[in-house]
Structure 1
Amino acid sequence: MTRILLLPGWLGSNDGHWQRLWQKRYGDAVVEQDDWESPRRADWIARLEDVILAHPGPAALVGHSLGCHLIDAWSASTRHADRVACALLVAPPDLYGPQLPAVLQPWRRPLAQPALPFPALVVASTDDPYCHLSDAVRMAKRWGAQCVNLGPCGHINAASGLGDWPHGRRLLDDLLRRGRHNTGLSPA
């Protein structure tokens, strides 16, 4: 069975965030970080690696905001990317935009790996304060992913009023089916 790993961004996901609601409703696992306020890239990568290696079988990664860049950074540094069936990358922030807080600037380092080694889907909105839609499309291209435009949904977080975001869950389910087909993994 494919485990769903939820990767919150900077400051974590609060109780009203769809990631926390998915955790409660579907039993998905949130990858908790030791420091949500001053995220050290190497520490976050190591934590994700530990979680992935702790359980046999495939995982689906669902990143929000900085969690999207964690997926990218982890996949560029691991030898275990074959354990990932797919990745849903929701509202990735533009790491080169002027709105990026200083504490996140170390995440700007370029990565050697241009595309993710598993099927991926980027979900973006037209009014995300942390990323213009054109930048989300550019990131999706670099990651070898398709990009879905949700329209005006802000940063696709609790403030967006999405509740448990059933549309996002359908996107993940479709991506999981595609990931299993591409990797030969058995259905959940």
Structure 2
Amino acid sequence: MRSEAIRYLILPGWQGSSAEHWQSHWQRSLPNSTRVEQQDWASPQRADWVAELNRAVAADPRPAILIAHSLGCVTVAHWAQQAPLELLRRVRGALLVAPADVERPGCPEPLQNFAPLPRDLLPFPSQLIGSDNDPAASAARAVEMARHWGSDAVVLSGVGHINVKSGHHYWEQGFAHLYRLQNRIEQQQRRRA
């Protein structure tokens, strides 16, 4: 993978990621990174968000790593269920941070059209990072999503929703999870070679 020109597609969740959010900092830090811009961050529609991810993957033939937060994680899982094989093959892996449980009691109404949560294995390596005190998904639900999606799961202690509100601006520690995912991708590629 080091010899390939990898691009990073940043997928924010509901209401987008502000300039102070770690995803925005990562977008400025990682080479070849692009944000998947949604038409409506406040009233997300599953079909629209999935279509926008599809356009972003289709727009560039280079291999991509998806870096998703919250509802962006659910968008990745829905996209992977219906994307054409040619586009699925462009995605080398996905870092799924603080996925939103859109089936939880009290889930905000704008997110409910993303239910039910996909339960199919993702066709690429993925690393899911949850939290034991995330209001958007309990640790048990994060682990369950990881199991359905075939993701390696890590549950962090006391980090909330891993966003600005929980104090995660740069989230330098998150790069360790991205590097772990990239190493896993490289190992799989070597085994196939």
Question: Do the structures match in fold with TM over 0.5?
Answer: yes
Task: Structure 2: state its 5+ residue gaps.
Answer: none
Residues 9-48 of structure 1: matches in 2 within 5 Å? 9-27=13-31, 28-48=33-53
Q: Does 1:103 align with 2:119?
A: no
Q: Match for residue 8 of structure 2?
A: 4
Provide the secondary structure at the position in 1 that maps to 2:66.
strand
Percent identity over paired residues:
42
TM-score by length of 2: 0.90
Deviations along 1:33-88, whole A, 9 cap, x unmatched?
11101111111111111111111121000110000000000000101211111101
Q: Match for residue 122 of structure 2?
A: 116
Q: Match for residue 175 of structure 2?
A: 169
Q: Give the deviation of 1:25 after TM superposition.
A: 2.1
Q: Give the deviation of 1:123 after TM superposition.
A: 0.2
Deviations along 1:75-131, whole A, 9 cap, x unmatched?
0010121111110110011111112111111110354x6100000111011110111
Provide the secondary structure at the position in 2 that maps to 1:170.
helix
Work out whether residues 36 and 56 of structure 2, in 8 Å CA contact, stay in contact via their aligned partners in 1: yes
Q: Does 1:64 align with 2:69?
A: yes
Provide the C-alpha distance between the structure 1 equivalents of 2:112 and 2:189, rounded to a whole number of angstroms. 34
Letter in 2 for 1:82: R
Provide the C-alpha distance between the structure 2 equivalents of 1:161 and 1:78, rounded to a whole number of angstroms. 35
Q: Which moved more, 1:11-20 or 1:160-169?
A: 160-169
Judging changes above 3 Å, is the alpha-carbon distance between structure 1 residues 145 and 71 closer, same or farther for their aligned structure 2 residues? same
Q: Give the deviation of 1:178 after TM superposition.
A: 1.3
Provide the secondary structure at the position in 1 that maps to 2:174.
helix
Provide the secondary structure at the position in 2 that maps to 1:48.
helix
Work out whether residues 59 and 85 of structure 1, in 8 Å CA contact, stay in contact via their aligned partners in 2: yes
Deviations along 1:130-156, whole A, 9 cap, x unmatched?
111000000000001111111100100
Q: What's the RMSD between the two structures over aligned residues?
A: 1.5
Provide the C-alpha distance between the structure 1 equivalents of 2:18 and 2:62, rounded to a whole number of angstroms. 28
Provide the secondary structure at the position in 1 that maps to 2:94.
strand
Letter in 2 for 1:59: A
Task: Structure 1: state its 5+ residue gaps.
Answer: none
Q: Match for residue 134 of structure 2?
A: 128
Residues 51-90 of structure 1: matches in 2 within 5 Å? 51-79=56-84, 80-90=87-97
The equivalent position to 1:160 in structure 2, one of 166, 169, 185, is 166
Provide the C-alpha distance between the structure 2 equivalents of 1:145 and 1:109, rounded to a whole number of angstroms. 18
Provide the C-alpha distance between the structure 2 equivalents of 1:99 and 1:16, rounded to a whole number of angstroms. 27
